[in-house]
C-alpha cells in the first residue's frame, strides 16, 4: 500500500442554508478543496450522505454531484453509514489512493436537513436506529443517548454538571470558528436550565439540525510536492461496527465499536493514545463525547466526566477535544460531519486555525460514528 496525504480541504459556514440546494452546498465545498489543493481534475470521488432521499427528495447523488462539479465521467460513489457516512467516504477514498488505483481522489460529505419539518427530520434520523425494536416504538436518538447517560451516571457517578461542561467547552471553541453554526458562548447554568429533551439531556446537550458540506483531496504522499499546500499524512485508519439496538449490547455505558476502530487505527499508525495531540470526536450529545474520550483510551472508564470538568479536554488542556466546536457548536449535517473532522485536523496540523489553534499539534485523531455507535471510523493524521 502507498502512503496517502490530504492536500486540500473545503468547507463553508454551516447552518440553515435556505438559499442553497444540496447540490449547491456540495459543489461549493468541493471546489474549495480543489482550489486549496491546486488541482483542476480528480480521478475518482466519494460522497458521504445519510438520507438525501428523506431530507432532500434526491437519491443518485453520485451522478448528480459529479455532473454539477463538471466531472461527469469520473467514477463516483455515494456512501451511507448513518452519521458515519462522511468518515467512511474518507476511508474508501484513502483506500483507493493507497491501493494505487487512483492518484487524485475527492472525499466529501453533504446533508441538507432543514428543507423538511422537525418531525420529518426526526424520522429521517431515527432510521439510523433499529427501526423494528427502537424506531417503531417511538425511541429517538435523544432518548437512546439519554439511556446511555443514565447508565454511565449510575455506573461511574458522572454528574449533570460534567455533561454540561462538555457543551460549555465546545461552544467556547466554536466561538473561535467562523464556520460554526452556533458560535455563542454558554454557561453550565445555561445548559442545566435549558429545555429538557430526554432526561438527563437538555436541548443544549444536543447537536443541531444543520445544512452543510465538506470535502478533502487525497493523493499519494510521495507526490505532495507537486501541489500548493503541505500535505498531512494519513497514518492510521480503523473501522468497526456493533449492534444497532442498545438492548443487544453488553454495556450501555461504553461504545465498543469506537474502541475497536481506535485499536485498529493506533496499531496501523504505530501510536498510542498518549501520542495524540488533539482529537475531533463525534459529540452528537454531551454524553457521547465523554463515552468516546474513554473508548479512545484518553481516560479510564468513568473518568471522562471528571476530565471534562477539570478542563483536561479544553484548548491548552491535557488532550484538547473538538477544537472546532464539535458537532455541538459547529453543527451536524450528518453525512458531512466525518469529512469536516478531517478538514479541522488538516488545518490544525497546517497551523491555520488562528485563535483555536492547538499549540505544537503534530498528530491528530478524528472519530466519527453512526447512530448510537452502530458504526465507527477512526483516523490518525500527522504532519509530514
Q: Of 260, 297, 292, 266, give the one whose Cα is nearest residue 368.
A: 292
Residue 284 annotated in active site: no
Give CA separation, 10 vs 109, 117, 373, in Å: 11, 28, 27
Q: Tell me the Ramachandran region of residue 114: left when phi exceeds 0, alpha when psi lies from -120 to 50, beta otherwise.
A: alpha
Strand order in the sheet with 211-220: 76-79, 44-48, 105-112, 211-220, 4-11, 232-241, 375-383, 363-370, 278-280
> Residues 152, 239, 282, 332: which is the catalytic one?
332
> Residues 83, 206, 353, 376: which is the catalytic one?
83
Confirm if 108 and 215 have CB atoms less than 8 A apart. yes
Q: Tell me the Ramachandran region of residue 360: left when phi exceeds 0, alpha when psi lies from -120 to 50, beta otherwise.
A: left
Cβ contacts of 132 within 8 Å, gap of 6 or more = none
Q: What are phi and psi of 105, to 5 degrees?
A: -125, 135
Residue 206 annotated in active site: no
As annotated, the active-site residues are 83, 332
Amino acid at each position: 500500500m502507498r502512503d496517502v496525504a490530504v492536500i486540500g480541504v473545503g468547507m463553508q459556514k454551516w447552518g440553515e442554508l435556505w438559499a442553497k440546494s444540496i447540490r449547491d452546498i456540495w459543489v461549493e465545498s468541493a471546489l474549495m478543496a480543489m482550489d486549496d489543493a491546486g488541482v483542476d481534475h480528480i480521478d475518482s470521488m466519494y460522497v458521504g450522505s445519510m438520507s438525501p432521499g428523506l431530507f432532500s427528495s434526491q437519491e443518485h447523488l453520485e451522478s448528480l454531484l459529479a455532473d454539477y462539479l463538471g466531472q461527469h465521467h469520473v467514477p463516483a460513489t455515494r456512501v451511507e453509514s448513518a452519521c458515519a457516512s462522511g468518515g467512511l467516504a474518507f476511508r474508501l477514498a484513502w483506500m483507493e489512493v493507497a491501493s494505487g488505483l487512483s492518484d487524485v481522489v475527492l472525499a466529501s460529505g453533504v446533508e441538507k436537513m432543514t428543507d423538511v419539518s422537525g418531525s420529518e427530520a426526526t424520522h429521517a434520523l431515527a432510521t439510523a436506529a433499529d427501526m423494528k425494536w427502537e424506531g417503531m416504538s417511538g425511541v429517538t436518538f435523544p432518548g437512546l443517548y439519554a439511556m446511555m447517560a443514565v447508565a454511565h451516571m449510575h455506573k461511574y457517578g458522572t454528574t449533570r454538571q460534567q455533561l454540561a461542561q462538555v457543551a460549555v467547552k465546545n461552544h467556547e471553541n466554536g466561538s473561535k470558528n467562523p464556520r460554526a453554526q452556533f458560535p455563542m458562548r454558554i454557561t453550565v447554568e445555561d445548559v442545566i436550565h435549558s429545555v429538557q429533551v430526554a432526561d438527563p439531556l437538555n436541548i443544549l446537550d444536543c447537536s443541531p439540525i444543520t445544512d452543510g458540506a465538506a470535502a478533502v483531496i487525497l493523493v499519494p504522499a510521495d507526490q505532495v510536492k507537486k501541489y500548493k499546500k503541505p500535505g498531512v499524512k494519513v497514518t492510521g485508519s480503523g473501522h468497526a461496527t456493533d449492534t444497532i439496538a442498545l438492548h443487544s449490547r453488553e454495556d450501555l455505558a461504553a461504545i465498543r465499536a469506537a474502541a475497536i476502530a481506535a485499536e485498529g487505527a493506533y496499531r496501523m499508525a504505530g501510536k498510542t493514545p498518549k501520542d495524540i495531540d488533539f482529537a475531533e470526536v463525534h459529540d452528537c450529545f454531551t454524553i457521547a463525547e465523554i463515552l468516546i474520550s474513554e473508548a479512545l483510551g484518553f481516560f479510564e472508564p468513568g473518568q471522562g466526566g471528571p476530565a471534562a470538568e477539570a478542563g483536561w479536554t479544553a484548548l491548552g488542556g491535557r488532550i484538547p477535544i473538538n477544537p472546532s466546536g464539535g458537532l455541538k457548536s459547529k453543527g451536524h449535517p450528518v453525512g458531512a460531519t466525518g469529512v469536516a473532522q478531517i478538514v479541522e485536523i488538516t488545518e490544525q496540523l497546517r497551523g491555520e486555525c488562528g485563535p483555536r489553534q492547538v499549540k505544537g499539534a503534530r498528530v491528530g485523531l478524528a472519530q466519527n460514528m453512526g447512530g448510537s455507535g452502530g458504526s465507527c471510523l477512526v483516523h490518525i493524521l500527522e504532519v509530514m
